[in-house]
Amino acid sequence: MSVAQATFTASRGNSRWLLLSSLALNLFFVGIAAAMFIRGPAVRTWNSDVFVRVERLAATLPPANAQLLRAAMDTNHAAIEQKQAAYHSARDSIRQTLRQNPFKEEAMRAAMAKTRSARQAYDQVIQGVFADTAAKMSSAGRQALADWPHGHKSGSNSR
C-alpha cells in the first residue's frame, strides 16, 4: 500500500464519521424544532369583556354553582355592561389625551382620575355579584373560584 492510498483510506474513514456526526446533529436539531412547534406554549389571549371571562370561569365550576353564577350575571347584566362601558370609555379618554398636540399634562391627570374612578365603580359591581353568588355556592364551588384560573392554588389546601 502506498502512502497516497493510506492517506485516502484514512481520510475516507474520517469523512464517514464527520458525515454521520453531522447527520445526527441535524436530526437532533430538527427534532427539537418539531417538538417546540408541536408543544409550544399556547398564546394567551386576554378578552376585556367580563361576560366572556365569567363564562370561561363558569365552565370550570360544578354545574349547580355555574348556574348560580350565570344567573347572577344575567340579573346584573345591565349594570355590569354600563359600568364596563364607562370604564372602557374612560380608558379611551386617556388615549385621546395622549394624542393631543400640544400635550396637556393636567388633562392627562384628569383623564387618569376619571379612569380610576370608573374602574373602581366597575370592580364594585363585579365584586358584589361574586360576593353575593359565593355566599350561595357550595364549598367545592368556592374552592374552584379560589383556584381560578385553573391550577392557581395558594395557601392551605384544607378542603
Q: What is the largest CA-CA distance in the chain?
A: 96
**What would the pLDDT profile of 28-81 be if each residue is shown by its tens digit?**
888 888 887 787 666 656 566 788 888 988 999 999 999 999 999 999 999 999
Domain that holds residue 22: 1-40
pLDDT at residue 118 greater than cutoff 90: yes
Task: Please give the DSSP secondary-structure letter assigned to residue 21.
Answer: H
Does 16 share its domain with 62? no
Does 78 share its domain with 106? yes
Does 70 share its domain with 136? yes
Residue 157 lies in a domain: no
CB atoms within 10 A of CB 75: 13
Global pTM reads 0.62
pLDDT on residue 49: 79
Residue 158 lies in a domain: no
Using DSSP's 3-state secondary structure scheme, residue 103 falls into coil
Does 126 share its domain with 91? yes
Selection from 80, 110, 76, 118 nearest residue 94 by Cα: 110
pLDDT at residue 1 greater than cutoff 70: no
pLDDT on residue 159: 42
d(CA 15, CA 21): 10
pLDDT at residue 153 greater than cutoff 70: no
| pLDDT confidence bin for 105, thresholds 50/70/90 | very high
Does 96 share its domain with 32? no
pLDDT on residue 47: 63
Does 26 share its domain with 88? no
Q: Specify the number of domains making up the chain.
A: 2
Does 93 share its domain with 117? yes
Does 131 share its domain with 105? yes
pLDDT at residue 7 greater than cutoff 70: no
